[in-house]
Chains A and B, each alone.
Chain A
Amino acid sequence: MSGRVLVGVKRVIDYAVKIRVKPDHSGVVTEGVKHSMNPFCEIAVEEAVKMKEKKLIKEVVAVSCGPQQVQETIRTALAMGADRGIHVEVSAKEYESLGPLQVSKILAALAKKEEAQLIILGKQAIDGDCNQTGQMTAALLDWPQGTFASEVTLEAGHVKVVREIDGGLETIKINTPAVLTADLRLNTPRYATLPNIMKAKKKKIANVKPADLGVELASKLQVLRVDEPPQREAGVKVESVDDLVGKLKEAGRI
């Protein structure tokens, strides 16, 4: 096998920032707001780097799709130990309508081009919360998928994945090449060390256009409106269970 792992990293609004909806309700405010790597993508990078340190794989390639700024995110991945980066250039305008389907097509094309043995992604991005890219990428490639991974064991020709599911933990064995998506408890991402930040400067980031990969970015989805969640209102106290049932019937809830 090629020993090459592709890791997708997404630049998102930092998890600690308070999100504000734009006055025209077309989206959220991103100008001048702190951005960082999606936390689940950090976990994905960490898993790939650990595999390389254990000499189970040879090369970690960090990929991100978007405008110029995503290079910061790729460089953070390089500082965590990825070997090289690929920046898939998408204009700011196109980026607004870039969704899981388009990204999956890009990742699938790259995986074939790079002869990747594994694709590791975060289970979802904290902005879109779609939880689709990993699954769609696997389907497009007709590769097996191990999603919501909380433990990954790479062996010759296959990978054992412990998945976090509603009922508890499920262990599956899938053949490589495969797509994995990282869940919270898979690992604790390392802090970029100062020497690695210096080394990251010398690592290469290649620029690629979606057209070069034969991918059409046009989306069939359109965001109609973005609103803040409704303000939590005061509740009503009732005296008895009958009162409660009565009030619920009134509100049309039962």
Chain B
Amino acid sequence: MSHLLKRIWIYGETLGLCLRGSRALSQLAELPEMHQMMRQTCRDYAAKELAPIAATLDKNHTYPAKQILELGAMGVMAVEVPEELGGTGMDYLAYSLAMEEISRGCASTGVVVSVNNSLYIGPILKYGNEEQKKQWITPFTTGEKVGCFALSEPGNGSDAGAASTMAHQDGDEWVLNGTKAWITNSWEASATVVFATTDKALKHKGISAFLVPMPHPGLSLGKKEEKLGIRASSTANIILEDCRIPLGNLLGSRGAGFKIAMQTLDSGRIGIASQALGIAQAALDCAADYAHKRTAFGAPIGKMQAIQFKLADMALAIESARLLTWKAALLKDAKKPFTKEAAMAKLAASEAATFSAHQSIQILGGMGFVTDMPAERHYRDARITEIYEGTSEIQRLVIANQVLKEYQP
């Protein structure tokens, strides 16, 4: 290429990069109109249909079946799924916004939506063949059916490579044996993505992913766990005893299970970060409103610096985590690496949620401790966000790993 042409080409590339970069940057500063509309409709729905019933759902541990159907009709149960498969065909930023707004109304409903979108549909969309996508994704876009993700076991959570659930081939079937623990949506799910060891000698490279319908012979559910928070969503063991599935139910290639799990959790982290943001925001909403109304020493408590500092710290933590979450989503949408950013987002957002919920109770004082106000529920709901889909400790390891890679001599 001639010297002049080369300079023009580089200029064009740089301009293109700048424009793409500036568009992504401007999306951090102000969302595009479609995303704003989408966020608004989810916010309206959460405020009118979820927030008023969230306390009752929590108290009675009731699965929000009607609301999940309505969210399905709105396209929220399959945000990223292409239209030809029955989904909405929007990007991950849109999904993150939807998750935050839904969770702001009801954290339990949020986790049901998140697991269906990121953990169940996510890996099938990325690793499934066309047949599997039609069979295992399309019926799960409407809210009529939800899926779940079975990775953790009683013997291993963070140590995912130590999976002891086994799968061996017997003729034209796979046979699965083992127990999975802490499975969200298990009691309502119509299918699950299960991880099992197919070649023990290969250690974590010997784990494979399988699609199992529910209910199914050989698959049974443990008791519903009684949890501190997100009580309207079911969590239970999935027990596999000579559970037989067709060979075609293998998801991705044999031995790719660990990679599939890790990549799925990378994306899932953005969903959970968004859920945590919703909980944190709800806690701030509650506290700021109270600060205006409650008076002490002759003035609304919002006039006192001690309260003001708390509100400022809460708002700061939430906004910082939100920007990290949006950046992770934008990077994913641009098909750029986003592992570090997703881990940062999940870590920041979950810690913002527990912090905000804690401070919210403090601002409400005694009122924060009783069920009359939602602060205590936000406190209980927030706690799990630091644990599932990668504990805060694991997130720190992921981030450190990425940072060290960047500085590799």
Give A contacts to B, CB under 8 Å: 72, 75-76, 79, 191-195, 197-198, 200-201
Contact = CB atoms under 8 A, between A and B. Distances in A.
A191 B45 contact: yes
B34 A198 contact: yes
A194 B90 contact: yes
A-B CB proximity, top 9 nearest: A194-B75, A194-B88, A192-B41, A193-B74, A195-B75, A197-B37, A193-B75, A191-B45, A195-B88
Contacts of B88: 194-195, 198
A192 B75 CA distance: 10
Contacts of A194: 38, 41, 74-76, 79, 88, 90, 94, 98
A197 B38 contact: yes
B252 interface: no
Given A192-B41, A193-B41, 9 more contacts: A191-B45, A194-B41, A194-B88, A194-B90, A194-B98, A198-B88, A198-B90, A201-B33, A201-B34
Interface string B61-104: 00000000010011110010001000011100010001000000
Contacts of A193: 41, 73-75
9 contacts: A79-B37, A191-B70, A193-B41, A193-B75, A194-B74, A194-B79, A194-B94, A195-B89, A197-B34
A111 to B, nearest CB: 28
B313 interface: no
Contacts of B89: 195, 198
Contact of B44 (A191, A197, A198): A191
Contacts of A75: 33, 37
Interface of B: 33-34, 37-38, 41, 44-45, 70, 73-76, 79, 83, 88-90, 94, 98
A194 B83 CA distance: 11
Contacts of B45: 191
B289 to A, nearest CB: 12
A172 B164 CA distance: 73
A76 B88 CA distance: 17
B211 to A, nearest CB: 26
B27 to A, nearest CB: 16
A200 B37 contact: yes
A120 B135 CA distance: 43
A191 B74 contact: yes
A99 B341 CA distance: 52
A195 B38 CA distance: 9
* Residue among A72, A79, A197, A198 with max Cβ neighbours from chain B (10 Å): A197
A199 to B, nearest CB: 10
Contacts of B44: 191
Nearest to B37: A197
A79 B83 contact: no
A197 B90 CA distance: 10
* Residue among A72, A194, A195 with max Cβ neighbours from chain B (10 Å): A194
Contacts of B74: 191, 193-194
B37 A192 contact: yes
Contacts of A198: 34, 88-90
Nearest to A194: B75
Nearest to A200: B37
B70 to A, nearest CB: 8
A177 to B, nearest CB: 32
Contacts of B41: 79, 191-194, 197
Contacts of A72: 33
A79 B75 CA distance: 13
A191 B74 CA distance: 7
B137 to A, nearest CB: 16
Contact of A76 (B37, B79, B90, B98): B37
A75 B83 CA distance: 21
* Residue among B37, B38, B45 with max Cβ neighbours from chain A (10 Å): B37
Nearest to A193: B74
A72 B34 CA distance: 10
* Residue among B38, B76, B83 with max Cβ neighbours from chain A (10 Å): B38
Contacts of A201: 33-34
Contacts of B73: 193
Contacts of A79: 37, 41
Nearest to B36: A72
Nearest to A196: B75
B67 to A, nearest CB: 12
A195 B37 CA distance: 11
A72 B36 CA distance: 10
Nearest to B77: A194
Nearest to B98: A194
A79 B41 CA distance: 10
A42 to B, nearest CB: 10
Nearest to B48: A191
A126 B372 CA distance: 32
A182 B227 CA distance: 47
B37 to A, nearest CB: 5
A72 B45 CA distance: 18
Nearest to A192: B41
Contacts of B33: 72, 75, 201
Nearest to B95: A194
A191 B46 CA distance: 11
A191 B76 CA distance: 12
Contacts of A191: 41, 44-45, 70, 74
Contacts of A76: 37
A159 B122 CA distance: 49
A125 to B, nearest CB: 19
Contacts of B90: 194, 198
A79 B37 CA distance: 9
Nearest to B49: A191
B284 to A, nearest CB: 17
